[in-house]
Structure 1
Amino acid sequence: MHFRKMTPDDWEKVKDIYLQGIATGNATFQKEAPSWEEWDKGHMGFSRIISNDERNNITGWCALSPVSSRCVYAGVAEVSVYVATAYAGMQIGTRLLRQLITESEANGIWTLQAGIFPENKASIRIHEKEGFRLVGYREKIGQMDGIWRDTLLLERRSNDI
């Protein structure tokens, strides 16, 4: 497994993996993938990481979004981690998250947050394994297909910053 910085040329494959996550119904409230320009604007310029297999196929990706535009929260970011369905269960999500933690801290991020559907047990597991803890339960935070959904708020505070 290799890791590298995401580039705009990766967008089509990154988008495909995102759409696979959307299709599960347990990865995001989003119903469609944004354009590269929209996605780029909504994510921090650093800590955009791609995982590749030995044949250079993109197997997953992760990135950070700011949680607020207020300067006091400049070191707090929301985590996105997506793994291609064909590569599920191969520890790719865990390895991507580890890379993301290291790179985010190198860029001054002191708190990482993740909003996860309670049904997404694999995501909860990998986040907890990497030091995230449950800090909140957001009941009926948003609707998906007319059904109110809950999310868990997990957080990881840097030990180094």
Structure 2
Amino acid sequence: MLKEDWKVVKSIYQKGIDTGIATFQLHAPEWQTWDKSHLQIGRLVILENGIIQGWAALSPTSQREVYKGVCEVSIYIDPQAAGKGLGTLLLKKLIEESETHGIWTLQSKIFPQNTPSLALHKKLGFREVGVREKIGQRMGIWYDNILLERRSLLF
């Protein structure tokens, strides 16, 4: 993913936000804000016929040195491209990329209602750690999150 991809990436992100089951965010941020909160590695887009159809990125879970190999996954596919296996390809590549850079644990926090995302993560080796009940509000409604993690077999 390059800075010049942001307009399309942001649009896909907003479509995910608008589903109400992808994130607590209500609006996709501007590039500078997003850029500061994500690692420089693992920023990926997936193309179909030369058009960005999805993106994935990693963000740190902590600034503490001991957790430098633990990252959170963000992955979004344009709804018009859903069901084509692009999410699987993208998440596989993100896992490879993370391991290349010494990441030993990937985490995702997913709304229970987001069954496609839960299925994708479990298919690629993420396990359910637990449910974080009423962890946050979105538009005044409390939501649970399912915490999933994937430990690399390389470390």
Measure the CA separation in 2 of the matches of 1:32 and 1:46.
Answer: 24
1:39 corresponds, among 34, 55, 80, to: 34
Report the AA paired with residue 42 of structure 1: S
1:91 corresponds, among 85, 93, 96, to: 85
Identity of aligned pairs, percent?
Answer: 55
**Secondary structure at the residue paired with 2:10?**
helix
For normalisation by structure 2, the TM-score amounts to 0.99
Q: Which string of whole-angstrom CA distances, capped at 9 and with x for unpartnered residues, describes residues 38-87 of structure 1?
A: 00000000000010012x11000000000001110000000000000110
1:18 corresponds, among 13, 26, 46, to: 13
1:77 corresponds, among 41, 65, 71, to: 71
The RMSD of aligned alpha carbons is: 0.5
For normalisation by structure 1, the TM-score amounts to 0.95
Measure the CA separation in 1 of the matches of 2:141 and 2:23.
Answer: 14
What is the match of residue 28 of structure 1? 23
1:8-157 equivalent positions in 2, closer than 5 A: 8-54=3-49, 56-157=50-151
Instruction: Quote how far apart the aligned CAs of 1:94 are.
Output: 1.0
Runs of 4+ in 1 over 4 A off after TM superposition: none
Report the AA paired with residue 84 of structure 2: M
Measure the CA separation in 1 of the matches of 2:46 and 2:28.
Answer: 20
Measure the CA separation in 1 of the matches of 2:124 and 2:140.
Answer: 33
Report the AA paired with residue 19 of structure 1: Q
In the alignment, structure 1 segments of 5+ residues that lack a partner are 1-5
Q: Which string of whole-angstrom CA distances, capped at 9 and with x for unpartnered residues, describes residues 104-149 of structure 1?
A: 0000000000000000000000000000000011000000111110
Measure the CA separation in 2 of the matches of 1:46 and 1:122.
Answer: 25
